[in-house]
Amino acid sequence: MNPRHASTFDAVGRTGTLSKADHTRLDALAGELGLIKIGAPSSIQAVLADFRVLSELDSLVCMCPVERTSGWAVERFACDNFPNDTKFRQVSTAFLERAPRRFGWFDAIRPEPAQRNVVLELDDLVPRAELEASPAYAEVLVPLRLEHTFQVRALICESSSLLAWFGAFHSERASPRQIDLLIAMIPAMRRRLSIERRLDLCEMVNAALETVLEQLGVPAYVISATGRVFETNQAGKALLETRRAEVSASLRAALTQAPAPLPFELTRFREHGGEDHWLAILRTKGTDARLAHALGLAASRLKLTPRQREVLDLVIRGAATTTIAAALAISERAVEQHISAMFDRAEVSSRAALVSLVLLGK
Amino acid sequence: MPQRSLDDDSAFARIVVRDAEDGRVRFEAEDRGRLAELTDAIGTLHIGSPSILVAIAPATRELLEVDDVMSYCPSEHVEGWGFRHVHFTGSSRFVDGLGDYLGSAPHRFAFYNPTRPEAHQRNRTIEAIAMVNRTEPGGFESTPIYQKVFAPLKMERLRQLRTLICDGPSLLTWFGGLQDRAVTVRQHRLLSALIRPLQRRLSVERRLADGGLATAALEAAIEHTGSPSFVVSRTGRLLAANASGRELLEQDRATTRELLALAARGRAHASFELVPLREPGTAAAWLVLMRVSTAEQSIARCEATAAERWTLTPRQRSVLKLLIGGDSNARIAASLGIGERAVELHVTALLDRAGLDGRAALVACVLSMRR
């Protein structure tokens, strides 16, 4: 592997093979990528066409493979100047739909660090014989008559995840200037692609976050160091409304690892390039809390009366009939009756089986 | 004057909404030109630049001919309220005063619900103070915000013309003008004309600002579901997975993927739970939780803990495992291929070890154990 990457830049971040005019045009392209016209289609297609004129590379592609339950879907597909752009798109998309995780000499879920955001020529990465034996060769390159071209590409990544495959198919090996031009495009392309992905996914990610927090079933907050509540669930909202002072004191204490009245479990996380945030989950630890949870679940599932619930609360703590009768100030016979009524509802025939059913949450 | 809570919805009874969202509103040529310029600026986003609300404030002030332009969005903190953003072309004392007030303000600190503005207040131009009578009980002058912010700053005569720009139910910004004279129909209409472009712009800004954090928060939260979990869209896209989910994918790729593909189409399956995402948009997605029989896991964990605590023989362990699973002596005997009498003896030995005197108590004790 022989990546020609950003280290080839000179002290002012410019590479030797590029002229002043090249830089001016690159700056204009970066400007175009840095501009979003709200409601208008992405500018990547137009930038690709301009970049082809500048770089004199034969054909250019930028596409984002996204993971599906099987194979890959391709998003934000842009290509320029293939013999037949539509066919290129169809064939490569169809190939990726069934393709494995390593469809092109890199891990498409988490590209290898050495391959991220650098320009690589396929011929440096894989021997021709291996390329010719690959499914990509047979299913994409040959049908599209690209088998004799040279591929040069960058895997544009945001931290460890792949944003796009960006590169060229060229009739000969790319020149140093062409490679430097590709290198120079990476930062602006990365910024743009990252933003487009964020805009695409935001709604679904927000919905998924809300749903996951609700699934936790206990009060949970996503908070910043300054105590801003970014997101919470119904249980969290209710707790904040009824016991705001206690919640805020406990969260503050938890952030400084001081003892707090409410036991929050904190998980620190950070968005790429952002500030620390915490996921705070109120963990009702201890046997009592778990028993209460199991009891609540069983009471609603078996539709128990308040009295049956009281009896069951003691049964699952292992209390004998006499103890239960004394605690609830009812007769032992009444206790037996409540328990046998619960046997019917739970369809069990012994007290041990009832306890097992309730505590296992079956 | 008695303070009256802003939570009282009757304050909105006389809400004045002059609906100016009518597309056929005619503006004078000069206004039209300035509006077009402003709209163009709002529709163009330079990646990495600060919010458009700051940049357009002077031009908006000139166009609307109001004394000052203000934009702010409250953000919820664990203690109370703060500003998500705030910009005011007038005195900073007002911003400071409002900030101090917000810090300890009630949930409904102004004439709208700050986390979810009422539907009839979203994306409309409203003369905020005209909504409520100024002087009668429950009117503007009886509210804490008037007494704590407006009156001390001698801003009590100001009129507010504002719009609550929202993306769905969530507030993107309070945006509007303040002046000491009556609001004109022209001002009303001009502000209304800015709503749609601002809504589109600010939705994008909000997504750019929060999208990364939401993704990171999702990654953190999905690890706490307690079972292998995935987020899949109806189109089969795998949006997120937790570590145990990824592990399952690696171990048993074909089966897991098949199950997920089923889930993506909304088909239930015994070994997973499908939770639809509450999502306003089009493409539906699911949270898929693989439920690897948690009951079996609990039985195994509790039985192992008890065996360690009471140093049980292998046979006693087998009996205990079936017992806490809810089996009767007869079933335990059948499962283990031993006599019922033998089971009884094992149970007696277990009760002895545990110092308990009933099967139910034993089950309760063992299933309440924690490592």
Of B197, B211, B365, the CB nearest to A205: B211
Q: Which residue of B has its CA nearest to A204?
A: B279
Confidence of residue A10 (pLDDT cuts 50, 70, 90): very low
A313's enclosing H/E stretch is helix A306-315
Asked if the structure places residue B24 within a domain, the reply is yes
Query: In angstroms, what separates the C-alpha of A32 from chain B's closest C-alpha?
Result: 9
Q: Residue B293's pLDDT is what?
A: 58
Query: In angstroms, what separates the C-alpha of A83 from chain B's closest C-alpha?
Result: 31
Confidence of residue B131 (pLDDT cuts 50, 70, 90): low
Q: Residue B332's pLDDT is what?
A: 94
Q: Is pLDDT of A210 > 60?
A: yes
Of A227, A229, A269, the CB nearest to B219: A269
Same domain, B119 and B251: no
Q: Do A208 and B287 touch (CB under 8 A)?
A: yes
Q: Residue A325's pLDDT is what?
A: 94
Is residue B309 within 8 Å of residue B287, measured between CB atoms? no
Asked if the structure places residue B197 within a domain, the reply is yes
Same domain, B99 and B178: yes
Find residues 221-260 of chain B whose CB sits inside 8 Å of chain A.
221-225, 229, 231-233, 235-240, 257, 260
- Give pLDDT tens digits for A248-260: 999 988 888 888 8
Of A38, A360, A362, the CB nearest to B201: A38
- Give pLDDT tens digits for B160-208: 899 999 998 899 999 999 998 988 989 999 999 999 999 999 999 999 9
Q: Is pLDDT of A233 > 50?
A: yes
Same domain, B206 and B232: no
Residues of B in contact with A33 (CB under 8 A): 47
Same domain, B158 and B60: yes
Q: Residue B338's pLDDT is what?
A: 93
Tally the domains of chain B.
3
Q: Is pLDDT of B4 > 60?
A: no
Q: Identify the weakest region by mean pLDDT among A74-88, A259-273, A288-302.
A: A288-302
Asked if the structure places residue B3 within a domain, the reply is no
Cβ of residue A201 closer than 8 Å to a chain B Cβ: yes
Q: Is pLDDT of B6 > 70?
A: no
CATH number, domain with residue B315? 1.10.10.10
Q: Does domain A6-204 have CATH number 3.30.420.40?
A: no
Q: Residue B9's pLDDT is what?
A: 40
Domain C-terminal end among B153, B186, B215: B215
Confidence of residue B101 (pLDDT cuts 50, 70, 90): very high
Domain C-terminal end among B192, B215, B238: B215
Same domain, B183 and B244: no
Cβ of residue B77 closer than 8 Å to a chain A Cβ: yes
Is residue A80 within 8 Å of residue A87, measured between CB atoms? no
Same domain, B154 and B44: yes
Q: Which of B206, B213, B329 to mutate to test the interface with A (most CBs of A within 10 A)?
A: B213
The Cα B69–Cα A97 span in angstroms is 52
Residues of B in contact with A357 (CB under 8 A): 326
Of B80, B212, B263, the CB nearest to A272: B212
The Cα A6–Cα A9 span in angstroms is 6
Same domain, B45 and B183: yes
3-state secondary structure (DSSP) of residue A118? coil
Please state the rounded mean pLDDT for residues B119-145.
Answer: 80
Q: Residue B370's pLDDT is what?
A: 61
Mean pLDDT of chain A: 89
Residues 6 or more apart in contact with residue B356 via CB below 8 angstroms: A318, B362, B365
The residue extents of the domains of chain A are 6-204, 217-282, 287-359
Query: In angstroms, what separates the C-alpha of B227 from chain A's closest C-alpha?
Result: 11
Asked if the structure places residue B239 within a domain, the reply is yes
Same domain, B286 and B298: no
What CATH number was assigned to the domain covering residues A287-359?
1.10.10.10
Local structure of residue A8 (DSSP, 8 states): G
Can you read off the two tokens belonging to residue A317? 């703590």
Q: Which residues pair with B162 in a beta bridge?
A: B126, B176
- Concatenating the DSSP letter of every residue in B104-156 gives T--SS-SSS-SSS--GGGBT-EEEGGGGS-SSSTTSGGGSHHIIIIITTTT-T
Show the domain range for B136: 9-215
Cβ of residue A10 closer than 8 Å to a chain B Cβ: no
Q: Is pLDDT of A108 > 60?
A: yes
Domain C-terminal end among B261, B290, B319: B290
- Choose among B237, B45, B210: nearest CA to A202: B210
Confidence of residue A12 (pLDDT cuts 50, 70, 90): very low
Is residue B183 within 8 Å of residue B161, measured between CB atoms? yes
pTM over 0.90: no
Asked if the structure places residue B299 within a domain, the reply is yes
- Give pLDDT tens digits for B278-324: 655 545 788 888 776 567 777 888 888 888 888 899 999 999 999 99
- Give pLDDT tens digits for B329-343: 999 999 999 999 999
CATH number, domain with residue B154? 3.30.450.80
Residues 6 or more apart in contact with residue A125 via CB below 8 angstroms: A1, A105
Of B47, B79, B216, the CB nearest to A248: B79
Q: Is pLDDT of B20 > 60?
A: no
> A152-179 burial, b for 16+ CB within 10 Å, e for fewer?
bbbbbbbeebbbbbbbbbbeeebeebbb
- Give pLDDT tens digits for A283-322: 766 667 778 777 877 887 788 898 999 999 999 988 999 9
Higher pLDDT, residue A59 or A217 = A59
Same domain, B161 and B99: yes
Q: Identify the weakest region by mean pLDDT among A192-206, A337-351, B237-251, B288-302.
A: B288-302
